[in-house]
Structure 1
Amino acid sequence: MSSLGMILLLISIILFGYWGSRRFKHLPTKRTGWSAIILLVLAFVIGGTSGNHSATKSASDQSSSKAELKDSSSSASSHRSHTKTTRRAKPSSTKKSSQSNHQDHTSVLNKLVSYTDKESAGPTGNYYWHVGKAHLTGFKSLGTSSPRFTADAEQRPAAARAKLTYQEYASSRGGRQGDPLEPYAWPSNNPIVAISYAATGRTYHGYLWNRSHSIGDSLLGAKSYTSVNNFTTGTRPQNVGADQDGGMRYGEETVENYWSDHPDTHQTVDYQTTPIYKGNESIPRGSLVDIKSSDGTINTEIAVINDAEGIKINYNTGANNAKPYHRSQATPYQHHSTTSSNQGYQDSTTHSQATTSGKWHVAPAGHVYVSKSNKYYTRVTNPQNYTKETKAQAKAAGATEALRGNEYAQP
């Protein structure tokens, strides 16, 4: 009951008492009784209205509190749901990235199978093509001194990774740093073949198979020979392409050119090569080469094709339909291998007037030794494996000076 109601009630009680006293003494009441009754009624009316208002307000407050509690609970539930969704989103994102890489590999594999089945040099004619930007994995824990070479569940060479430095490149210049290791599924027969390149119009004469680096000697030096998993069974064009600057060599030269443009740099290059196999085949159809420099100058993914134009290859055994090529058929200026320990040249010429210095045969003044890969040198250990020409004749025929030497030939 409100304060006003209480006051009216007290006044009505007093009036009732006054009215009763006058009635007892038989004195006139002057409507005192009616006044008391009216005030009493007003007191209860006002008190009842106030009570209803208070009750209504209390109910309203309780309803509001319940609503606020419900909203708060709903908000908290929504926040928990959002947090739960966000927490679940992270592995989903990782899974999506993994699926994306898998899809990229599947797409590249499909193209590799198509090209190799057709005995094709691919869209560039040089046994490689650009896929897009680099997709690197496993480099967070990889240091500059710790390359990592892996094998898959079937013990075939898998991803090879290295964080390359300029110092490694500089120290490997001037000579080969080791001997190639025999890779998984190395064929028992490595025939001497003739491969005609549509892109260059030239013909290579030499061994079909190379012990092909995943990460090359020119980039990693002696460390490139520490694991058999850094080598795959690759065709000669897979190794160097149709012009000696394609295939796997293209990726290597990409980094070499970067080092040449940034001498003594502290920047690093993440280099990853992943052989790509069809099913359970023993020899890869090709490789994915991912390269990214720490300054972002290089950021590319290259697919390399492992086949040879005009030769059908069995990728389980290495068997092929190449016609045997005999050494006596070789002619000067046709491409030949210089990078594998079992690869030699086919023709020989007279090497009079050359001088010797220890194991080296030094070309006379104005002359050079020309390899079948169309590179010329000033001194070699086995002159019968080269043609000796004047430098002018060599250049006129398209030969170029070798930039790097090895234990058999020096610029």
Structure 2
Amino acid sequence: MKKLGLLGLTLLTALSLSACQSNSTQKSAASLTASKTTEQSTSSAPSHASTSSSAVTTTDETPDAILKRLITYTNEKSAGPTQNYYWNNGKAHLSGFETMKPADYHFAADEKGRSGIARAVLTFSEFEASKGARQGTPLDPPAWPKNSMTSIHFGLTNRTYHGFLYNRSHSIADSLLGKFSYRSQYNFTTGTRSQNVGADQNGGMRAAEELAENYWKTHENSDQTIQYQTTPLYNGSETIPRGSVVDEKSSDGKLDVEIVVINDAEGVSIDYNDGNEKTGTAEPSKAPETTQSSSSVATQDSSDNSAPATANGWTTAAQGMVFVSKSNKYYTAVVNPSNYQYVSLTKAQEMNANQGRSNAYAKN
């Protein structure tokens, strides 16, 4: 009887251990399956997030893909994915700098006589020397069209710009290259006002320029250099570029970026063969606007359509209108109008602007 009891106890213990081991194995297998599922989910999530981010902020497209995208945006009169007339296309893609030294620059026409690739090896001293005042007078780019007064309503800011449609847009800015940026007409393209400064004065070409400017502000008196390259992109034989690709890379690698700028204006139909506005709303100006600069901040009072007149190198405000500078001084005539806000005198006074003293670039 004792032997039977002992045998039963032994069998019971064995069955219990077997059940425990079975449960442990099943738990382990379940845990491994869950782990694999989690790993697959985690590994696919970044890929999805990366794709989503690329579509909105940063991409890495080829020149052909960029041009195709620019044609789509400009045909749609779109401000692009940032709503500010530019997007980030990843790291810089530079060429032609092998023999260039610090402070060297090169501007040339393309095979059709249009402004081609502009290159410069920028230095801090050029940036420093350009501070305070424009270093020259913008030149007419090839095929500079008849300029017109127009209206551009910006979706990003919900504000409307009234003024000249086009700027003589630097490929390499005054603020970066100083007086040397005026040495060739091939450093200028016909750019819309929005291509030049975007919807909020910090987009378009300004977005690219500010990246280099901000680098110098954190590397004062530095021996570093920036390889800076701007490539206008044209559709076939059109004379007005659909946009530009700006590549910039510092010698220490801290700055390494490619910015694509869109050359159009929301709500404005442009014929890129000759620059004419297709809509019937544009009013031809007596003379084209004479300015573009990386520091330009021109806007026009959206409630007033009084156009300024240009003669003998000076642009004179219409009666009751003035030009307001960044230092909050107002003038009745200026040499470079898009360095100023063009507003009514009443508006200037509301802004607490004071009458400025006449100088070589502005007068009362």
**TM-score bin, normalised by smaller chain:** 0.5 to 0.7
One-letter code aligned to 1:164: L
2:99 maps to a residue whose letter is S
Alpha-carbon RMSD across the aligned residues, in angstroms, is: 3.4
Aligned match for 1:291, one of 229, 248, 272: 248
Corresponding residue number in structure 1 for 2:149: 192
Matched, 1:145 2:103: yes
Is 1:204 the equivalent of 2:161?
Answer: yes
Amino acid at match of 1:408: A
Contact 1:332 1:387 in 2 (8 A): no
Tell me the CA shift for residue 147 of structure 1. 0.2
Q: Distance in 2 between matches of 1:178 and 1:379?
A: 22
Match of 1:265 among 218, 222, 233: 222
Contact 1:158/1:274, CA 8 A, preserved across alignment = yes
In the other structure, the counterpart of 2:197 is: 240
| 2:96 counterpart letter in structure 1 | G
Instruction: Give the alignment partner of residue 160 of structure 1, picking from 118, 133, 153.
Output: 118
The partner residue of 1:382 within 333, 343, 362 is: 333
The CA deviation at 1:392 is: 10
Partner secondary structure for residue 209 of structure 2: helix
CA contact (8 A) 1:274 1:289 kept: yes
Q: How do residues 362-377 of structure 1 correspond to structure 2 at under 5 angstroms? A: 370=324, 375-377=326-328
TM-score (norm. length: structure 1): 0.60
Distance 1:124 1:174, change over 3 A: same
Q: Please name the residue that 1:105 is paired with.
A: 63
Report the counterpart of residue 45 of structure 1 in structure 2: none
Q: Distance in 2 between matches of 1:304 and 1:191?
A: 22
- Tell me, yes or no, if the aligned pair for 2:77 and 2:268 is still in contact at 8 Å: yes
Q: Which has the higher contact order (CA 8 A, sep 6+)?
A: 2
Does structure 1 residue 321 correspond to structure 2 residue 278? Answer: yes
Structure 1 residues 268 and 376, CA gap change in structure 2 (3 angstroms):
same
Shift of 1:156: 1.1
Q: In structure 1, what is the Cα distance between the partners aligned to 2:181 and 2:267?
A: 31
Quote the residue 2:133 is aligned against: 175
- Look up the match of 1:408: 362
- Partner secondary structure for residue 102 of structure 2: coil
Question: Post-superposition shift, 1:297?
Answer: 1.3
Q: Which amino acid aligns with 2:226?
A: V
Instruction: Compare the two structures and name the one with the higher helix fraction.
Output: 1
Q: Is this contact kept in 2: 1:116–1:306, CA < 8 A?
A: yes
Partner of 2:9: none
The aligned residue for residue 120 of structure 1 is: 78
Task: Note the C-alpha offset of 1:196.
Answer: 0.6
Deviations 1:226-265 (A, max 9, x none): 0111011111111111111111111111111111122111
Report if the CA contact (8 A) 1:166-1:265 is conserved.
Answer: yes
* Local SS of the residue matching 2:112: coil
CA distance in 2, matches of 1:127, 1:269: 23
Query: Aligned AA for 1:192?
Result: M
Q: Is this contact kept in 2: 1:337–1:343, CA < 8 A? A: no
Task: Indicate conservation of the 8 Å contact 1:151/1:229, yes or no.
Answer: yes
Partners of 2:349 and 2:148 lie apart in 1 by 34
**1:256 equivalent in structure 2:** 213
TM-score, normalised by the number of residues in structure 2: 0.67
2-side partners of 1:337 and 1:164: how far apart?
Answer: 37
Q: In the alignment, which residue of structure 1 is the partner of 2:40? A: none
- Write out per-residue CA displacement over residues 11-66 of structure 1, whole angstroms, 9 at most, x where no aligned residue: xxxxxxxxxxxxxxxxxxxxxxxxxxxxxxxxxxxxxxxxxxxxxxxxxxxxxxxx
Consecutive unaligned residues of structure 1, counting only runs of 5 or more, are 1-102, 352-368, 400-404
Deviations 1:372-407 (A, max 9, x none): xxx452364638955557999539xxx9xxxxx993
Q: For the pair shown, which has the larger CA radius of gyration, 1 or 2? A: 1
Question: Could you report, residue by residue, the CA deviation over 1:264-283 in whole angstroms, capped at 9, with x for unpaired residues?
Answer: 11111110000001111111
Deviation sequence 1:274-325 (CA, Å, 0-9, x none)? 0001111111100000011111111000000001111111111112124135
Q: Cα deviation per residue 1:159-214 (whole Å; 9 max; x = unaligned)?
A: 10000011101111111111111111111x21101111010111111111111100
Aligned-partner Cα distance in 2 for 1:165–1:311: 38
Pick closer, same or farther for the CA change 1:320–1:194 going to 2, 3 Å.
same
Q: CA separation in 1, counterparts of 2:74 and 2:278?
A: 14
Conserved? CA contact 1:203–1:335, under 8 Å: no
| Residues 1:171 and 1:337: Cα distance change in structure 2 (over 3 Å) | farther
> The residue matched to 2:62 in structure 1 has which SS?
helix
| 8 A Cα contact 1:337 1:344, kept in partner | no
Match of 1:226 among 166, 179, 183: 183
Unaligned runs of 5+ in 2: 1-60, 286-299, 335-340, 354-358
- AA paired with 2:75? D
Alignment of 1:44-83 (within 5 A): none
Three-state SS of the structure 1 residue aligned to 2:78 is coil
CA–CA distance in structure 2, aligned partners of residues 217 and 166 of structure 1? 13
1:335 CA displacement:
12
Equivalent residues of 2:148, 2:284 under 8 A apart: no
How far residue 348 of structure 1 moved from its aligned partner, in angstroms, is: 5.7
* Percent identity (aligned): 47
Q: How many residues align?
A: 276
Which of 174, 177, 191 aligns to 1:217? It is: 174
